[in-house]
Amino acid sequence: MAGKPTITKEELLNQKFGPVSYDIEKWWVKKFVEAVDDPNPAWQKVTPPTFATALILEDMHDAIVNYGDYKASLNGGNELEYFKPIKIGDTITVTGKITAMKERPGKLGTMVIIISEASYTNQNKELVAKCRSTSIKY
C-alpha cells in the first residue's frame, strides 16, 4: 500500500486554492450564531464578524493538515479584515494561497508555521473580507 504523496514546501507555496462558492442562507447563520452564543438581532440580515472563518477551502485545509510527517496541528490564530458586510442571501466565493512557511525548533522537535490567506468576494465581485491564518504543525 502506497503512502500519501509528499508535497514539498515549494509546491505548497506556489499552489492556489479554490475558488469555492457558498450561498449564505439564514439557517446557516442561525446555527453559527447559536454556536458562538451571540443573539444580536443584527445577525438577521448580516453575518457576525467571525462567520467568514466557517467558509473553508477544504483543499487548502487538507494540504496544510497533510503537509509533512508532523503528528499534530493547531490553529495559531486568524486575522480578519472586513471591507463590506456579508449578508444573508449573498453568494461568497473564497480563494486562497499559502504565503509563508517557516521551520522552528520547539520543545517537541521541529515545528513548521504555515501562513495562509483567503479572500472572500460576493456575487457582485466585490471583495468583502480577507483572512490571514497561522497554522502550527509539530
CATH code for the domain of 40:
3.10.129.10
What integer is the mean pLDDT of 5-20? 84
The confidence score (pLDDT) of residue 53 equals 93
- The number of domains in the chain is 1
Residue 1, pLDDT score:
42
In a domain? residue 73: yes
**Per-residue pLDDT for 93 more than 60?**
yes
The whole-chain average pLDDT of the chain stands at 92
Task: Please tell me the pTM assigned to this model.
Answer: 0.88
**pLDDT over 70 percentage in the chain:** 95
Domain membership of residue 50 (yes or no) is: yes
Query: Is 3 part of a structural domain of the chain?
Result: no
In whole angstroms, give the CA distance from residue 98 to residue 67. 12
Instruction: Note whether residue 1 is domain-resident.
Output: no
Q: How confident is the model at residue 88 (pLDDT cuts 50, 70, 90)?
A: very high
Say if residue 90's pLDDT is above 50.
yes
Domain assignment present for residue 2? The answer is no
Asked if residue 79 belongs to a domain, the reply is yes
β-strand partners of 130: 81, 119
Q: What pLDDT, on the 0 to 100 scale, is given for residue 29?
A: 97
Residue range of the domain that includes 108: 9-137
Residue 44 pLDDT greater than 80, yes or no: yes
pLDDT for position 5: 54
pLDDT at 2 over 70: no
Asked if residue 82 is part of any domain, the answer here is yes
